[in-house]
Amino acid sequence: MVLQAFCPQFERIDNAVTIRDILVFHEDHVAGLKEEFTGGDLSFALSCEIWGTSYHRMSYLCVAAHYVDGDHILNKRVISFKLIDGAPTAEAMARRILDVAMEYGIENRIVSVTLGDGLADAETMDALAPLLGWYTGGFVFLQRCIFSILNDIVRAGLTEMAEPLDAIRSAIAYVSSSEANFAEFEKCCVERGQKARKLWPDSKVRWDSTYDMLKEVLPYKEVLTDFVNGNHVAGLKEEFTGGDLSFALSCEIWGTSYHRMSYLCVAAHYVDGDHILNKRVISFKLIDGAPTAEAMARRILDVAMEYGIENRIVSVTLGDGLADAETMDALAPLLGWYTGGFVFLQRCIFSILNDIVRAGLTEMAEPLDAIRSAIAYVSSSEANFAEFEKCCVERGQKARKLWPDSKVRWDSHMTCSKKCFPTKKF
């Protein structure tokens, strides 16, 4: 109504129409590429990588074809951008890449396959050898990227100083774990006459990112040391020691697809002497191993013992990636100290709702996966989005960025499309 008041010519575009246009654009684009690949004696080099976001908890396999056309112009086309709905094993990824090549009829004209981070390993190449063997007559070899080799060399050298680097990463993550923590960090910076800024950890797959991290952190060395290991933690320990306080812990895993790192965040909730509910992030540390149930339970217990609250915990709330029966079984002794051995698992209502909704959506999994893949395909490159904008303009519509739903948020498919059921028409 507000938009119509300012612009009477405004016409609302239904989400179903937008989804239909995306699918039509995708089908037309794929048909055009197949026709182009069929004509002429073309050879192809494929590049494959995994795209993902920590928010949506989804990963996509992106496959691009590189080739020189009849006018001797080098072309790049994204030929697949599909959801990875299972474990990204070497065999599964190789099978998907082979399926894409066969879909476009280029499986016997591939001269090379370049694999990105998360895919580049000997097992995947062994599984892809038959695909390349059709063109090369069986002669296949693995050539690693120079940046990957450099990264391995640098990472091997950095193991000599792994402990201080892990401490720096954890300190940066701890400061950024909540607005309250960053506000305290800003306060410490002001007291020392420095201007606070957001700090970012390095990435495991980018060899020079550690240097960038250290260059940014060095001016804040004393502030970070005092904030993380000094006054802030000491003040919390002193606060927790005084008074007869009980605590509820909330734990979740934080991570980003860019940095390829995950952190265990532990927050303590308690009511102080003034009957005010408080929340304090008491740990934000790097997960440097497999996040098994036993390992995560051990870390949570270590945090509780560090602050001396291990026998005053009334409940532990586990976030996505932690909430399972195995983790709760491993945490039972921690809770048993307070409850006298009586421990039970109570699932979050949103987690239960998510399972119910997801179970119902399996009935329309195929059209939903098609919508997610189409949205991801349109957003996979600027060229694709420009083509999509062009299609929207031709239909008198305004193009906008669209986002897929999230597997762990039961109502997120409504954001992707207010009504998923109309997609059955497509």
| 48 and 139 both lie in a single domain | yes
Structurally, the chain folds into a number of domains equal to 4
Q: Do residues 348 and 407 lie in contact, with contact meaning Cβ atoms separated by under 8 Å?
A: no
Q: Is residue 259 part of a domain?
A: yes
The sheet carrying 74-83 orders its strands as: 74-83, 58-68, 44-53, 110-115
Q: Pick from 94, 117, 143: which residue ends a domain?
A: 143
pTM above the 0.85 mark? no
Residue 33 located in a structural domain = no
Looking at the fold, whether 178 and 130 belong to one and the same domain comes out as no
Q: Does residue 270 lie within any of the structural domains?
A: yes
pLDDT value at residue 416: 53
Q: Region 117-146: what's the mean pLDDT?
A: 70
Q: Tell me what pLDDT residue 424 has.
A: 36
In a domain, 52, yes or no: yes
Residue 18: inside a domain: no
Task: Looking at the structure, tell me whether residues 253 and 339 fall in a common domain.
Answer: yes
Residue 134 has pLDDT above 80, yes or no: no
Helix (H) or strand (E) holding 256: strand 247-256
**328/341 same-domain check:** yes
Residues 342, 357, single domain; the answer is no
> Does residue 37 have a pLDDT over 60?
yes
List C-alpha distances in Å: 418 to 15, 24, 413. 7, 19, 8
Least confident of 161-170, 381-390, 398-407: 398-407
Q: What is the pLDDT of residue 97?
A: 86
- The secondary structure element, H or E, covering residue 315 is strand 313-318
Rounded distance between C-alpha atoms, residue 137 and residue 128, angstroms: 14
In which domain, by residue range, is 117 found? 41-143
Regarding whether 136 and 62 lie in a shared domain, the answer is yes
The answer to whether the CB of 77 falls within 8 A of the CB of 86 is no
